[in-house]
């Protein structure tokens, strides 16, 4: 098709969970569509992140599509938290069931997208030289899809294998007999470290920042439990839609600072025993009061000390430089226990930073460490990485990179002033990563497709966020965040993990329900904050 221009109503970039649903939804509304996907199959983040231990940390019955009751009734999740292979199987099942692949072009990257103001269309080019013209552009590119550039000197000199958790070999890695070094102790590191330690001859973990992690207590789902939840699925989904985190887990009902020391300890212990994010979401004040947060953090630190036998190692694993939850809480299976193994060493690279990677290991200021395999669990250029890989040019030749030079903002976390007819699914300023991102993506797809459908019916040719609405939204996102402890960490939520990235709070912290209610109200008001221009011909 090189040379020809293919015209569609909607071009969707990405065939992860959000892109897949966008295909299904827009096709159902009668739009012509094409989706472009870099991977060779559907699944997005679950296609790329195949490292050992990769699994969701929101319960699978919740972290799954809600749009089709038939789908949610027929699919059987094996465990409370499904593994990456199971989630990828689910994505493939969805693609088959809804016949999505016929509209997806795999193994292709969009390289640039330019808005043609006279035609009110996006001209899109791929790395295969194909060209598309689309009335609407939907960026379903994911919040955590581009690994951040690894800023460790000497990486190229390493003689052994280097694996990044977010770009794991399709065929897997056999760690038998290997001496492994791993850099990074965020969620990816914390999930993979226990399994790499079990398989490898020796594992050295290089930790710059200790993170809070809580147990998953993952287990198979019994038939009775699954059946009971499926009978009640509609109300579980309603509860999720009306919750803070887009989940059916219990909502915050206790205030730590109102509890006696005994009741507090009992409540923390209950959260710990339930596992998952409860300790963060079960209390009204844990993300708002520094003292309440310290009490919760102290509880987790006591758990770490009770688990890790070597007191020095336990102290190193105790996070001290950020409030619990202000860097994303990790959910693990046997993470702290792993440091009781004889074949695992924890190295503090905060006190003694890495100087360089060497051919057979790495050097810090004070010591050298040797290993033959290096695993990078060093995270992502969150929210903006995937969008900034594409040369996106809006009205009057303005680049998205220029529009976001002082920080990424988008009205409702989905539309950028100066970039008409382009929508970002779970973009900067949306609840996305602070909620159940699967449901957050569904809500965006439904809202955006309803707006596009409305535009077609009303002969509206251009939809564009108003600059004032976008600024107001950015202010609200920041003010909401500023009332919490979230900004008190140097986290990827504010872009702090990528050198030079402007710091703005990138997620909407006021909760999924509050966000959805605002979106609904804006739609009721005729899409307030959007400039809707009629077709030239209308
Ligand atoms: O990445 P991260 P991640 N030298 O940025 C360290 C989601 N997720 O891939 O904190 C030394 O959290 C860095 O150290 P520091 C989830 O939302 C979900 O683990 O910058 N160290 C940190 O320890 C998660 O939050 C699941 O000091 C360097 C680590 O690398 C998000 O993805 C599973 C370094 C990066 O941690 C990102 O998680 C996995 C350097 N130069 C991920 N550069 C689920 O369970 C970075 N680090 C669903």
Half-sphere exposure of 293 (CA within 13 A, CB side): 20
Q: CA end-to-end span of the chain, whole Å?
A: 32
141 alpha-carbon distance from chain centroid = 11
Contact 319, 297 (CB under 8 A): yes
Give me the chain's average pLDDT, please: 97
How crowded is residue 226: how many other Cβ atoms within 10 Å of its Cβ?
A: 15
Give alpha helix (H) positions in 200-260.
Answer: 223-231, 233-241
If you measure from the C-alpha of residue 178 to the centroid of ligand 1, how many angstroms do you get, rounded to a whole number?
23
Question: What CATH number is associated with residue 399?
Answer: 3.50.50.60
d(CA 189, ligand 1 centre) in Å: 7
> How remote is the CA of residue 350 from the centroid of ligand 1, in Å?
15
Enter the tokens of residue 344. Answer: 């695992």
- Indicate if 131 and 163 belong to the same structural domain: no
Burial class (CB in 10 A: 0-12, 13-18, 19+), 143: buried
User: By percentage, how much of the chain surpasses pLDDT 70?
Assistant: 99
Does residue 306 lie in a domain region?
A: yes
* Residue range 288-299: mean pLDDT, rounded: 98
Closest-CA residue, ligand 1 atom 1, reads: 379
The closest alpha carbon to 465, from 425, 417, 423, 424, belongs to: 417
Three-state secondary structure call for residue 212: coil
Nearest residue by C-alpha to atom 6 in ligand 1:
184
Q: Which atom of ligand 1 is nearest to the CA of 191?
A: 33
pLDDT in tens, 236-275: 999 999 999 999 988 888 999 999 999 999 999 999 999 9
Q: Two tokens at 271?
A: 């959260």
Residue 391 resides in a domain: yes
pLDDT of 10 above 50: yes
Distance 283 CA to ligand 1 centre (A): 25
pLDDT in tens, 332-349: 999 999 999 999 999 999
Q: Are residues 13 and 111 in the same domain?
A: yes
What average pLDDT does the segment 390-401 reach? 98
Residue with the nearest Cα to atom 12 of ligand 1? 186
User: Would residue 231 count as lying in a domain?
Assistant: no
How does pLDDT run across 190-246, given as a tens digit for each residue? 999 999 999 999 999 999 999 999 999 999 999 999 999 999 999 999 999 999 999
Residue 356 lies in a domain: yes
Phi, psi of 266 (to 5 degrees): -65, -40
Q: How far apart are CA 530 and CA 538, in angstroms?
A: 19
SS3 for 40-78 is CCCCCHHHHCCCCCCECCCCCCCCCCCCCHHHHHHCCCC
C-alpha 378 – ligand 1 centre gap (Å): 5
What separation in Å is there between the alpha carbon of 188 and the centre of ligand 1?
6
Based on the domain organization, do 441 and 341 belong to the same domain?
Answer: no
State which ligand 1 atom lies nearest to the alpha carbon of 184: 30
pLDDT at 538: 43
Q: In this predicted structure, what is the pLDDT of residue 250?
A: 81
Distance 151 CA to ligand 1 centre (A): 14
Instruction: Tell whether 355 and 206 lie within a shared domain.
Output: yes
- Both 305 and 343 in one domain: the answer is no
Whether residue 344 lies inside any domain: the answer is yes
Please identify, among 379, 394, 419, the residue that sits at the C-terminal boundary of a domain. 379
Phi–psi pair at 121, nearest 5 degrees: -140, 155
The pick from 186, 280, 321, 335 for probing ligand 1's pocket by mutation, whose C-beta has the most ligand atoms within 8 angstroms, reads 186
Neighbours of 467 (CB within 10 A): 13
Question: Contact, 498 vs 381, CB < 8 A?
Answer: yes
Residues ≥6 apart with Cβ < 8 Å to 258:
none
Please say whether the beta carbons of 356 and 363 come within 8 A: yes
Structure tokens, 311: 């007191």
Q: Greatest CA separation found in the chain?
A: 75
417-450: per-residue pLDDT in tens? 999 999 999 999 999 999 999 999 999 999 999 9
Say yes or no: 154 and 293 in one domain: no
Cβ–Cβ < 8 Å for 181, 206: yes
Q: 363 and 395 share a domain?
A: no
Q: Which residues line ligand 1 (CB under 6 A)?
A: 56-57, 144, 151-152, 183-189, 191, 208-209, 328, 331, 349, 354, 377-380, 433, 492, 497
Question: Which ligand 1 atom minimizes the distance to the CA of 497?
Answer: 20
Residue 343: CB atoms within 10 Å: 14
pLDDT at 503: 95
Kindly state the DSSP code that residue 428 receives in the 8-state scheme: T
Q: How far is the CA of 193 from the centre of ligand 1 (A)?
A: 13
400 plus 520 within the same structural domain: yes
Q: What is the pLDDT of residues 485-505, one digit of tens each?
A: 999 999 999 999 999 999 999
- State in Å: Cα 492 to ligand 1 middle: 8
Predicted local confidence at residue 149, as pLDDT = 84
Neighbours of 453 (CB within 10 A): 15
Q: Given the CA of residue 496, which atom of ligand 1 is nearest to it?
A: 20
**What domain count does the chain have?**
3
203/211 Cα distance (integer angstroms): 19
Ligand 1 atom closest to residue 166's alpha carbon, by position in its atom list: 9
The verdict on residue 497 lying in a domain is no
Instruction: Supply the pLDDT for residue 249.
Output: 86
Residue 488 domain flag = no
Q: Characterise 329 by phi-psi region: left (phi > 0), alpha (psi -120 to 50), beta (else).
A: beta
CA of 285 to the centre of ligand 1 (A): 26
Asked whether residue 407 falls in the same domain as residue 446, the answer is yes
Regarding whether 258 and 160 lie in a shared domain, the answer is: no
C-alpha 159 to ligand 1 mean position (Å): 24
Ligand 1, atom 36, residue with closest C-alpha:
186
Question: Residue with the nearest Cα to atom 26 of ligand 1?
Answer: 187
- Residue in this structure with the two tokens 């072009």, named with its chain if needed: 105
- Ligand 1 atom index nearest CA of 492: 5
d(CA 271, CA 252): 11
At 312, which helix (H) or strand (E)? Answer: helix 311-317
pLDDT of residue 2: 55
Three state DSSP letters for 469-482 = HHHHHHHHHHHHHH
Task: Judge contact between 421 and 122, C-beta under 8 A.
Answer: yes
Please answer whether residues 443 and 516 qualify as being in contact, where contact means their C-beta atoms are separated by less than 8 angstroms.
Answer: yes
> Atom 29 (ligand 1): residue with closest C-alpha?
184
Instruction: Among 46, 164, 188, 499, name the best residue to mutate to test ligand 1's pocket (greatest count of ligand atoms within 8 A of Cβ).
Output: 188
Structure tokens at 496: 């702090």
Q: Which domain holds residue 469?
A: 5-146+382-475+512-534
What element of type H or E holds 457? helix 437-457
Which one of 308, 325, 342 terminates a domain?
325
Ligand 1 centroid, distance to 190 Cα (angstroms): 9
Which of 381, 331, 379, 325 has the alpha carbon at shortest distance from 143? 381
What is the token pair recorded at 200? 């490898």
Residues 50 and 134 in one domain: yes
pLDDT greater than 70 at residue 91: yes
pLDDT of residue 535: 79
Show which of 325, 341, 371 is a domain's final residue: 325
Percent of the chain with pLDDT over 90: 97
Testing ligand 1's pocket by substitution, the residue of 379, 431, 503 carrying the most ligand atoms inside 8 A of its CB is 379
Model confidence band, residue 1 (pLDDT cutoffs 50, 70, 90): low
Is there a single domain that holds both residue 288 and residue 353?
A: no
Round the CA-based radius of gyration of the chain to a whole number and report it.
Answer: 23
The answer to the question of residue 129 being in a domain is yes
User: Does position 3 have pLDDT exceeding 80, yes or no?
Assistant: no
**What are the backbone dihedrals phi and psi of residue 410, each rounded to the nearest 5 degrees, phi first?**
-150, 140
HSE of 484 in the Cβ direction (CA atoms, 13 Å)?
25
């Amino acid at each position: 098709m090189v040379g020809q221009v293919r015209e569609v109503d909607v071009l969707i970039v990405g065939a992860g969970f959000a892109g897949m649903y966008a295909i299904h939804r827009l096709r159902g509304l009668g739009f012509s569509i094409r989706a472009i996907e870099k991977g060779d199959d559907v699944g997005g983040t679950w296609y790329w992140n195949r490292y050992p231990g990769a699994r969701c940390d929101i319960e699978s019955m919740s972290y799954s599509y809600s749009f089709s009751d038939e789908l949610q009734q027929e699919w059987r999740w094996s465990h409370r938290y499904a593994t990456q292979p199971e989630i990828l199987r689910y994505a493939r099942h969805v693609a088959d069931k809804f016949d999505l692949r016929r509209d997806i072009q795999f193994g292709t990257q969009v390289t640039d997208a330019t808005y043609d103001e006279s035609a009110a269309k996006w001209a899109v080019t791929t790395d295969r030289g194909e060209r598309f013209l689309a009335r609407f552009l939907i960026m379903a590119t994911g919040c955590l899809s581009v690994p951040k550039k690894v800023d460790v000197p000497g990486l190229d000199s390493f003689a052994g294998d280097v694996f990044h958790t977010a770009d794991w070999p399709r065929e897997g890695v056999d760690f038998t007999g290997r001496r492994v070094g791993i850099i990074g102790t965020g969620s990816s590191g914390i999930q993979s470290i226990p399994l790499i330690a079990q398989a490898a001859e020796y594992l050295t973990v290089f930790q710059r920042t200790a993170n809070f992690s809580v147990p998953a207590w993952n287990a198979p789902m019994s038939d009775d439990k699954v059946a009971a939840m499926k009978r009640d699925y509609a109300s579980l989904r309603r509860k999720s839609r009306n919750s803070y985190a887009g989940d059916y887990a219990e909502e915050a009902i206790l205030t730590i600072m109102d509890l006696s020391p005994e009741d507090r300890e009992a409540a923390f212990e209950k959260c710990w025993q339930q596992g998952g994010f409860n300790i963060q979401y079960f209390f009204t004040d844990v993300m708002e009061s520094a003292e309440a947060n310290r009490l919760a953090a102290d509880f987790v630190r006591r758990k770490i000390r009770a688990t890790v036998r070597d007191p020095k190692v336990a102290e190193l694993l105790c996070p001290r430089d950020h409030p619990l939850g202000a860097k994303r809480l990790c959910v693990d299976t046997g993470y702290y226990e792993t440091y009781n193994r004889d074949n695992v060493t924890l190295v503090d690279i905060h006190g003694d930073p890495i100087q360089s990677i060497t051919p057979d290991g790495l050097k810090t200021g004070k010591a050298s460490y040797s290993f033959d395999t290096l695993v990078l669990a060093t995270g992502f250029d969150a929210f903006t990485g995937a969008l900034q890989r594409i040369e996106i040019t809006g009205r009057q030749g303005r680049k998205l990179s220029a529009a976001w030079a002082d920080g990424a903002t988008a009205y409702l976390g989905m539309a950028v002033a100066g970039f008409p007819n382009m929508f970002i699914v779970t973009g900067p300023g949306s609840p996305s990563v602070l909620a159940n991102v699967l449901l957050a993506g569904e809500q965006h797809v439904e809202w955006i497709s309803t707006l596009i459908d409305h535009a077609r019916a009303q002969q509206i040719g251009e939809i564009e966020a108003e600059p004032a609405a976008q600024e107001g939204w950015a202010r609200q996102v920041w003010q909401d965040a500023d009332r919490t402890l979230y900004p008190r960490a140097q986290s990827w939520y504010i872009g702090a993990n990528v050198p030079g990235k402007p710091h703005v709070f990138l997620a909407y912290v006021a909760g999924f329900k509050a966000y959805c209610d605002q979106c609904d109200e804006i739609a009721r008001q005729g899409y307030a904050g959007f400039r809707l221009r009629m077709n030239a011909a209308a």
